[in-house]
Chain A
Amino acid sequence: MKRRNLMMSVAAGAMLAVSMGAASAQDVIRMGAAAPKTGPLAGGADVTHWPAVRLWVHQVNEAGGLQLADGPAMIELIEYDDQTNPQQTIQAAQRMATQDQVDFMVAPYSTGLNLAAAPIFSQLGYPQITGSNVTNQQPELSAQFPGMFFVLGRTGVMAEDTAQVLVDLRDAGEIGDRVALVNVADAFGIEMAEISRDVLEENGFEIVYQTSYPLGTQDIAPIIDGARAAEPDAFIAWSYPADTFALTDQAIVQNFQPSVFFTAVATAFPSFQERFGDQAEGVMGMGGVNPDDPAFQEFAEAHMELTGQLPDYWASASTYATLEILGQAIEATGSKDREVVMAYLQDSSNEYETVLGPIQFNEMNDNERYWTVGQWQDGVFRGVAARGRDGASDVILKDGWD
C-alpha cells in the first residue's frame, strides 16, 4: 500500500503542476517555450534565455497585453525543460503545437537545439525567430526553413571582426603580430578558430601557439603556460562559460599579460565582472551592446528588477529582441493567425524597434546589424566592433591584471 501512496502523491504533484500552469482568460495568446532547465546548457539558458523570455511576457502583460484587431490579448506562457536534449526539444515543440495548441513558440536556446527544432517549426508553420543561434548557414537554412529568422549574427562575421580588431591595433602600431589561438574542441570552437586563423594569417599575423581542449575542461593551467611561453601579443580563446572563467583565472595566476586578452562565451555575463572585479578591465569577448543606449539601460533595469540579475551583454538582449519583433509583427497585423504574422515577418521591408536598435531581416531572414566584439571598460561590457550599429567604443589595450 505504501508504494501506491507514493505513486499517487507523485501523480498528484504532477496534476498540481498542470493546474497551476493553466490560466484561463478570454483573449489570450498562448506562447510555448522549451529550452534547457537542466543538462549541460542549463547554465547558459539560466542567464540568457529564461529571464529574457519571462521579462518580455511580464512587461507585455503589465502593459495590458498585445493589441489585436479586436482588442488586447494577454500572453500566457507555457514552459518546458528540454533537458539540453535535441530529442526532447523536438518532442516539446510537437507537444506545444498539437497538444497545448500554442499560438506562437519562443525559439529554443543555442545553435544545436534551434536547428533540431527547425523542421518542426517549419512543418507546423510557426515562425522561429532565433536569438541565441550563431551559424554561417543562413542562406541554406532560410531556403529550407523560410520561417527561420536570425538575430544574433553570423559566426564568420564574428570571427572576422575579432581578427579585424587585432589587425586595426597592429596597423596602429599598438601591438605586434604574435597571436596565441585556442579553442574548445566542439563545432563552435573549431569553426571560430578556423575562420579567425585564416583572417589573421592573411593579414600577416604569426600564430605562435594554437591548440584546442576538450569540452568541459577546467584545468587549464598547461594551456596558459604554453601560451605564455610563446610570448604572444594577443590571446584569443573560443571558449565556453566554465572554461572562460578558468582561462581568465589561470591567466591572472600565472600573470600572463598579453595586450589583447579575448575569451568567447560568458565574457559578456555580468557574473564575469562579479567574479574578477577590476581585473576584468580590458578583457574582450563575443557580442557586446551599446550600454549608453537608453533602450538597453531600460531593459537592463527591468531585467534586474524582475529577475534579480542583470542581463548578459550579448544574447540576453537579442533573445528579448526576438520577442519584441514577434510582438510587433502580431500588433502590426492585429492578428494571431500565424500565416498572416509569418507573411509580415517575411516581408523584408518591415523594420522593428528593439532593445538592440532597429532590426530588419534581409531576404535570407538574416539581421545584418549586430555587435560582434565587446570589451570590459569601467565595469561595463561595451561593444567595440559592430556591423551596422553606431556607438562602438574605442578598444583599449589590456594593461596587466593587477
Chain B
Amino acid sequence: MFFILITGLLLGGTYALIAMGLNLQYGVARIMNLANGEMLVAGGFAAFWVYTAGQVSPIAALLVVAPVAFVVNWAIYRIMLRPLVKRAKSRGALEVDSILATFGLSFALVGIMTWFFGGGYFNYSYLTGRVDIFASSYAQNRVVAFTIASLLAAALWIWLSYTRAGLRMRAVAVSPDSARLVGIDVPAVSALAFGLGGAVTASGGALISMFFTLDASVGVLFTMKALIIVIMGGVGDIRGTIVAAMILGIAETFVARVIDPGLTLAAAYVLFLGVLLFRPQGLFGRTPT
C-alpha cells in the first residue's frame, strides 16, 4: 500500500516536472505549446552532455540549463509566436494557429537535435542507489527529482501568489484584456511567462534524464502527458497542475500494480476524459467566460 502511494507520488513528481512549464505557457501566454516535449528532451540532452563530458551533476547543470532555456523560449515567443497573437481575431483562432505553429516547431526541434546528437538513445548512471522508505526501496535519483520538483513548485506558487510580478502574471492569466486596462504590459508578461515555462520544462528534462532513456524523437510522449495533466488540472493555476500530476501518478501506479500494467495509459485517458466531461474547466480551473 505504501509502495503504491510512494511510487505514485514519485511518478507524480515526474509528471509535475513535465507539465508545470506548459501550464505557464498555456495559462498565461495562451500558447498551446506542442513543442513542450522537445524542450524537455533538449534539457535532458544538455544534462547528459555536461555529465558525460565533464562529470557535472545534472542538478548543478540546472544553473545553466534553466537560464539558457529561458532566453531561448523568450525569444521564440517574441519572434515566432507574438505575430500569431497579434493576428488572431479570437482565442479560438490563436489556439489553432499556435497548435499548428508549435507542431511545426516540434518537428524542427527534433530535426535539429537529430542533426547535432544523432538519433540514438541517451542515458547515464547518476544517483542510482536505493532509498529505503517503509521497507521498500526507491531510486535515489527519483527521490531527488521529486524533492526538487516540490521545491520548484513551491517557489513558483509563492512567487505567483506573493510578488507583484506574480500578480501581474495571474492577472494576464485571468483576462489579458482587463490586464491591459489596468496598465499591465501584456506582451511583456506573456513573453516572460513563456520563457519561464520553457525554463521549468527544460529543467524538468534535465532532472528526468537521470532515470529516463531519451532519444531525439521521444518528446511527443511527454507532450501528450503534459497536455493531459494541464487540461485536467485546470489552465492557469499551478496548483491544479500539481494536484493533477499527483492524481495521475498514483492512479497509474495503482492500476499498474493492482489491475494490469497494460491498462495504465488507457486508465490515464479515461481519467482525463472523465474530468473533461464533468468538469471541462479542469480541477482548479475557472469557468471560461
Contact = CB atoms under 8 A, between A and B. Distances in A.
Same complex for A and B? Answer yes
A219 B114 contact: no
A249 B121 contact: no
A250 to B, nearest CB: 7
A45 B119 contact: yes
Interface stretch (B95-103, B181-189, B210-218): B210-218
Nearest to B14: A219
Given A219-B252, A222-B261, 18 more contacts: A37-B114, A38-B111, A40-B218, A42-B119, A42-B215, A43-B121, A43-B215, A47-B121, A212-B260, A218-B213, A221-B11, A223-B256, A241-B213, A245-B213, A249-B139, A253-B138, A254-B136, A271-B123
Interface residues of A, number: 42
A245 B123 contact: yes
B124 interface: yes
Contacts of B136: 225, 254
Interface string B249-266: 000110011001110111
Contacts of B271: none
B137 A254 contact: yes
Contact of A222 (B4, B124, B138, B216): B4
15 contacts: A36-B119, A40-B218, A42-B119, A42-B120, A211-B261, A217-B265, A219-B11, A222-B7, A223-B256, A246-B211, A249-B128, A253-B139, A254-B136, A266-B121, A271-B121
A38 B262 contact: no
Contacts of B215: 42-43, 46
Nearest to B224: A216
Contacts of B212: 218, 242, 246
B200 to A, nearest CB: 21
Contact of A213 (B3, B138, B218, B262): B262
B133 interface: no
B48 to A, nearest CB: 12
Contacts of A36: 119
Interface string B1-14: 00110010011001
Given A223-B261, A241-B121, A250-B139, A38 B256 contact: no
B225 to A, nearest CB: 10
B257 A226 contact: yes
B124 A213 contact: no
Interface of B: 3-4, 7, 10-11, 14, 110-111, 114, 118-121, 123-125, 128, 130, 136-139, 211-213, 215-218, 221, 252-253, 256-257, 260-262, 264-266
A112 to B, nearest CB: 16
B265 A275 contact: no
Contacts of B10: 221
* Of listed B4, B10, B11, B119, residue having the most chain A CB within 10 A: B119
A39 interface: yes
B250 to A, nearest CB: 11
B257 A277 contact: no
A71 interface: no
Residue picked from A185, A222, A246, most chain B C-beta under 10 Å: A222
Given A223-B256, A249-B211, A214 B265 contact: yes
Interface of A: 36-40, 42-43, 45-47, 84, 182, 185, 211-214, 216-219, 221-223, 225-226, 241-242, 245-246, 249-250, 252-255, 266, 269, 271, 275-277
A78 to B, nearest CB: 18
Contacts of A253: 128, 130, 137-139
Contacts of B218: 40, 43, 242
A253 to B, nearest CB: 4
A38 B130 contact: no
Contacts of A275: 123-125
A217 B213 contact: no
Nearest to B119: A42
A38 B123 contact: no
Given A38-B110, A38-B119, A212-B261, A225 B3 contact: yes
A255 B130 contact: yes
Closest 3 CB pairs of A and B: A42-B119, A46-B120, A222-B257
Contacts of A266: 121
A299 to B, nearest CB: 19
Contacts of A43: 119-121, 215, 217-218
